[in-house]
Amino acid sequence: MTAQHLTVSSARLADLLHPWQHPAGPAAGGPHTPAYKALADRIRSLVLDGRVPLTARLPAERGLADRLSVSRTTVAAAYDILRTDGYLVSRRGSGSWTALPTHRPDPPTRALVPSSVTGTIDLGVAALPGPGRALDRAVADAVDALPAYTTAHGYHPAGLPILRETIADRYTRRGAPTTPDQIIVTNGALSAWVLLLRTLLHAGDRVAVESPTYANALESVRGEGGRPVPVPMADDGWDLAAWQDALRAANPRLAYVIPDYQNPTGHLADTPTRRHLINLARATGTTLVVDETCADLALDISLDERPAPVAAHDRSGTVVTLGSASKSFWGGLRIGWIRGTPDLVRRLATTRAGLDVAAPVLDQLVLHHLIADHADAILAERLPGIRAARDSLAAMLRTHLPDWTFALPPGGLSLWAHTDTLSTTVLAEAAARHGLRLAPGTLFSTTGAFERHVRLPYTLDEPTLAEAVRRLALAAAETGRARPDAGLTASFAGCVA
């Protein structure tokens, strides 16, 4: 399926371009860069970084020239460069659309699948190990409770009542009053998303998604016949003007957002942003699907300081929420859930009969005990360690790959790094030869953008992270785009996976 075509106005593109002119002349310490080349470079960067979607129609030369206060010749020359390099396709009388060069390498897969290769360090999956003794106790308590459920068939299409009540109470305590009949328990958040798509989406319907966004969620949209509409993220979070334009132009049936430590950028949406997204979705009749799988992973504020869930601001049934135990507790505990209206939950339970019928009873009991008895203690114990791992990874990257840039994420499990001019598709191939698995930025795009980005989880122990960065720097050097510093091997001596 192709993405929805959008038009970028001259005013919008001018805002995205600012500032676009390179320093020039002796006073700037370098040679003069012609305006048309600087403009072409900046537009190319916007396309590669996903700020301007692929197949978007760019403004006419004269309109953009007037907005930028440059000559039409400057814009025409910039567009010519972009056409020659494969970043722009034009048809006389119809306009110009953004593109990517046809010779760019394709990623080996568009989904994120964990690696099982011995000796490989897997930075493709951002997930924590299990919480040790707390998980053992929850399993023991679940086993003790299981006999009360084995006298019946064991199928609970909406989930065990005790777990639905526990999840509902958790939302209520966070400011979103919830009753158990608003919860359906699923086999993980991704299964919840597929169930929701199968229930609400028709083939060819549009789904607005953040760009970049979670790779496997994109695969689910494609798999269910949806047409993803990318809405670019801004450097500091959600571009609400872009969301308004996209929802009005595309009129999508669903919009999928990750407001709590967005995957992969790590951004946290503030309360005004959450309310604004609801208002925009309600105005176009779009169901706003909110993925909260990382909501517990606050690293720079306390859990009590987090913004209230998006659903806490919804008074019209616009918001449907996805949740999961995978990021907070353990990926091996394949339990997730959907929070919606009671009517939607009943529809979902009916649709589910053709998928997986119900989630395992024992796993649901384990999650009930983890949340009810141990959640606060687990998070209090593991969040400081995650914060330390994040800071350690950031320090290693700054030392050994100093040309790479990133914003330190305030939560979540990974950082989103920009590799300067380095293709992360090529880097991933080189890294594989060094026993390192990466998730190149193109996986998080609907169209192959973010070639110069890579998602780097900090979910491994520090010695393994150090070895991962050592291999990463060697792979970067192998591509000819970066060089490890002279002390690299010595500084990582003794750090093995």
pLDDT in tens, the chain (497 residues): 344 457 888 888 888 888 777 544 433 344 567 888 889 888 988 888 788 888 888 989 889 998 888 998 888 888 888 888 888 888 877 788 888 887 555 444 455 555 555 578 999 999 999 999 999 999 999 999 999 999 999 999 999 999 999 999 999 999 999 999 999 999 999 999 999 999 999 989 999 999 999 999 999 999 999 999 999 999 899 999 999 999 999 999 999 999 999 999 999 999 999 999 999 999 999 999 999 999 999 999 999 999 999 999 999 999 999 999 999 999 999 999 999 999 999 999 999 988 899 999 999 999 999 999 999 999 999 999 999 999 999 999 999 999 999 999 999 999 999 998 888 999 999 999 999 999 999 999 987 889 999 999 999 999 999 999 999 999 999 986 444 443 343 333 333 32
The pLDDT, as a whole number, for residue 3 is 41
Same domain, 164 and 181: yes
The pLDDT, as a whole number, for residue 117 is 55
The pLDDT, as a whole number, for residue 178 is 98
The pLDDT, as a whole number, for residue 115 is 54
Distance separating alpha carbons of residues 232 and 257, to the nearest angstrom? 12
| Residue 271: other Cβ atoms inside 10 A | 12
The answer to whether residue 443 is domain-embedded is yes
The pLDDT, as a whole number, for residue 24 is 45
Total residue count of the chain as it appears in this document = 497
The pLDDT, as a whole number, for residue 355 is 87
**Are 458 and 393 a contacting pair, CB within 8 Å?**
yes
Counting the structural domains of the chain, the total is 3
The pLDDT, as a whole number, for residue 110 is 54
Same domain, 148 and 80: no
Domain end call among 344, 375, 406: 375
332: domain CATH number? 3.40.640.10
Same domain, 86 and 54: yes
Same domain, 213 and 247: yes
Same domain, 429 and 487: yes
- Any residues with CB less than 8 A from the CB of 26 and at least 6 apart, and which? none
Same domain, 49 and 170: no
Same domain, 209 and 311: yes
Tell me phi and psi for residue 99, to 5 degrees.
-150, 180
Q: How many helices (H) and strands (E) does the chain have?
A: 16, 16
* DSSP summary character for residue 180: G
The answer to whether residue 5 is domain-embedded is no
Same domain, 248 and 163: yes
Q: Considering only CA atoms, which of 267, 259, 308, 264 is closest in space to residue 288? A: 259
Q: How many CA atoms lie within 13 A of 22 on its CB side?
A: 17
Same domain, 234 and 368: yes
**Domain span at residue 22?**
10-98
Domain end call among 350, 375, 400: 375
The pLDDT, as a whole number, for residue 449 is 87
Same domain, 87 and 195: no
The answer to whether residue 340 is domain-embedded is yes
Query: Facing residues of 95 across strands?
Result: 91
Same domain, 431 and 291: no
The pLDDT, as a whole number, for residue 23 is 47
Distance separating alpha carbons of residues 75 and 72, to the nearest angstrom? 5
Same domain, 369 and 413: no
89: domain CATH number? 1.10.10.10
Distance separating alpha carbons of residues 281 and 263, to the nearest angstrom? 21
What type of residue sits at position 73? T
442: domain CATH number? 3.90.1150.10
Distances from the Cα of 392 to the Cα of 196, 385, 435, angstroms: 38, 10, 21
The answer to whether residue 41 is domain-embedded is yes
The answer to whether residue 278 is domain-embedded is yes
